[in-house]
Chain A
């Protein structure tokens, strides 16, 4: 799940001119779950734009906008509205915005959301960041708790000296110290041997951006 937040309306409107014809795209998956780019939010944005006396050519919820095939099919179905459009506002993460930009190269693109992190769902509307997609997973060594993500400094070899009450992170005391959790769980699992190993620095070269995955080539 990609967690997103809505940009302030003023930031969105800064890119829209009064003579623009706007097409609004929502996301049926992650942004709907986050309540940032679902039907309700698309509708709300449409009403704001209409209030500003700017033309809205159409709206659509793509399932999902980060799938180029879906985007192409749906834009074809809505070609009358799309043709008329001069500006597309996308309420999706950057992956969705980028696909729309690829598929509609002649249209002005406006990102309506900020993508924040890869979220694990705790309960409806509550997400935690547990994984940074770092490319070399260490979770087998750290009892399933990621120090790269859940330690504010991403320390791979144990906690810093600032752990509060043996439990909380000095950077944000509302967060648990990831290493306190790791050590506790490894003890419970009789895996404290894992704590002796000095983990090597991450290989950031192996997964240098931009990444590409091709199942045929990669498998």
Chain B
């Protein structure tokens, strides 16, 4: 179901994400999907995330759909030109994929094929425009399609970037281009989300889009060290201290994640829970809200 249709009956939705495997073995993925199935509304399927080559997001989205899970197909501008991107979107539509999340994509330089040619024929805003065009029955060259797409188009925003205008300028363009929902970069306190919502309200944009806040399960101090190296992520000292002082770092991480969700529940339209390789813990997190 398209997320905008889901919002007709639900005020707050929960999404998670699943990484396609490095290879063709989908056993693990399906196990995780089965655990998540009754706890969340949709699952993002990442597109060669962190520029590491994996099983394709389009195929995995279809696999999830066949297993009763609503996928949010992530599509980045990094690996394909405008022909391939539009073509893949048409394919997604035929496969009954209803939700797409459009991103520019991490640069290949920091991935597992650093010699790859970065494509970026389009940027994320131009691809959102292209997807809106396909929804309206036309390709980027204005050719009429025999059968249009019907996607709910999503985009990303990083509310932790300062000054906030560095993200609001592209965000406003994304809304203009046709993005209906935003999934945010991870934030570990409420302030960045408040700033984002205030900005949208002040500029008359709040009711145009749904904002799904990025939540992250910090499992250990080691993981914090890793996360700090990821572009666009910042972790407050108070959170680091709580994890480092805890006897059971995983439990503390679950608590922190649940608390964060409770804190932002009233101001956002949903949460997107990232529990890297521990998606099976998401029901546990949700039970503590």
Contact = CB atoms under 8 A, between A and B. Distances in A.
A201 B82 contact: yes
B168 to A, nearest CB: 9
A180 B106 CA distance: 18
Nearest to B167: A161
B232 A156 contact: no
Contacts of B129: 198
B126 A156 contact: yes
Given A172-B109, A201-B126, A201-B140, A157 B166 contact: no
Given A153-B104, A170-B232, A163 B122 contact: no
B169 A164 contact: no
B161 A166 contact: yes
A153 B126 contact: no
Kindly name the residue among B77, B157, B169 whose own CB sees the greatest number of chain A CB atoms within 10 A: B169
B126 A152 contact: no
B101 interface: no
Interface residues of A, number: 29
Interface majority SS on A: helix, strand, loop or mixed? loop
Interface in B121-166: 121-126, 129, 140, 156-158, 161-163, 165-166
Given A161-B157, A201-B140, A153 B123 contact: yes
A162 B104 CA distance: 11
B166 A154 contact: no
Contacts of B104: 153, 155, 160
A204 B119 CA distance: 12
A193 to B, nearest CB: 12
Contact of A154 (B120, B170, B172): B120
Contacts of A153: 77-78, 104-105, 107, 118, 120, 123
B158 A195 contact: no
Interface in A140-167: 152-166
Contact of B166 (A156, A171, A183): A183
Nearest to B170: A158
A161 B122 contact: no
Contact of A162 (B82, B177, B231): B231
Contact of A157 (B118, B123, B165, B185): B123
Contact of A201 (B107, B122, B176): B122
A175 B140 CA distance: 33
Interface of B: 77-78, 82, 104-107, 109-110, 118, 120-126, 129, 140, 156-158, 161-163, 165-167, 169-170, 172-173, 176-177, 185, 231-232
Interface of A: 152-166, 170-172, 177, 179-180, 183, 195-196, 198, 200-202, 204
Q: What are the 7 A-B residue pairs with the smallest beta carbon separation, nearest first?
A: A158-B170, A162-B231, A161-B158, A170-B231, A157-B125, A171-B107, A155-B123
Given A153-B104, A162-B232, A201-B140, 6 more contacts: A152-B107, A158-B173, A160-B124, A161-B185, A162-B158, A165-B162
